[in-house]
Amino acid sequence: MIMIVKQIYADNPLRNFHYLIACPKTKEAMVIDPLDVERCLYAANKEGYKITIILNTHEHYDHIGGNEEMAHKTGAKILCHAGAMDKIMNVEKGLKAGDKIQVGSSVTFKTLDTPGHTNSHICILSEGEKPALFCGDTLFNAGAGNCHNGGNMDDLFDTFSNQLTSLPDDTLIYPGHDYMVNNLEFSLNREPDNEIAKKYLQKLENQNPHHAHITSIKDEKEINSFFRLRSQTIITRLKENFPEMSSKPSNKEVFKALRMLRNNW
């Protein structure tokens, strides 16, 4: 049976996405990073879902700020990365790589330990007919998370190269924020001959984030600079910004240079 996914846009300056994931059999639901509690509860009540789990991908305020109110109003249990339990209040269980999350009777997820944006960040991967990754601030549509507040670029590169690149091509991507248009503009600044990214930007530059386009890993490998580390165009243009770059830079060197440029984009 296919899980039910509701993407909820917060309409705030940080452009947060929340997610409501429901079991169609039991109507039990999990909410991910519920900052805007009222929007999440409205979506759940409208469909008759009972929120039993609150999942935090990481400890930043815009991903945990609604925990207390949501838990009080629903009785839901809070789950997060085991390493973030000292930063997030009233956690029922800390999760480690490989841990399973059960929603109702028919929806299961596998926990991925995905450091980089913060040291204690998880993504969750659905286990069912159609793989889906709920990736917080690790992976964005056409982009990658920053490392400003408790993160590390080497760790983020390892997460991309050791985990995300090996996901099935049809894995759907559900990030923590709507940054896709800005990320596509960055991708085209770095790789102006990327015709696929051009078409995406033309199609989505005026999209309504309440009905946001959902990408797949296959799409990301075509439009996301952080997956396109061997693109000769990207490497050539990076050498203009970083003349000290190696003549044949490693994937990590390219990734970190892209991330540094994106910090000021």
Buried b (16+ CB within 10 A) or exposed e, 85-120: bebbeebeebbeeebebebbebbbbebbbbbbbbeb
Which residue among 18, 81, 121, 177 is the active-site one? 177
Please give the Cα distance from 125 to 205 (Å, whole number).
28
* Active site annotation includes 60: yes
Hey, CA dihedral for 169, 145, 150, 131, is it positive or negative?
A: negative
* Active site annotation includes 148: no
Which residue among 18, 33, 36, 58 is the active-site one? 58
Measure Cα distances from 243 to 150, 192, 261 in Å: 28, 20, 14
CA 249 to chain centroid, in Å, comes to 27
43 is written with which tokens? Answer: 């979506």
* Active site annotation includes 72: no
Which residue among 33, 137, 178, 219 is the active-site one? 137
* Active site annotation includes 63: yes
* Active site annotation includes 11: no
Which residue among 117, 121, 178, 219 is the active-site one? 117
Which residue among 18, 63, 81, 121 is the active-site one? 63
* Active site annotation includes 213: no
Nearest C-alpha neighbor of 155 from the set 203, 120, 198: 120
* Active site annotation includes 210: no
250 is written with which tokens? Answer: 């490693």
Which residue among 18, 33, 36, 60 is the active-site one? 60
Residues identified as active-site: 58, 60, 62-63, 117, 137, 177
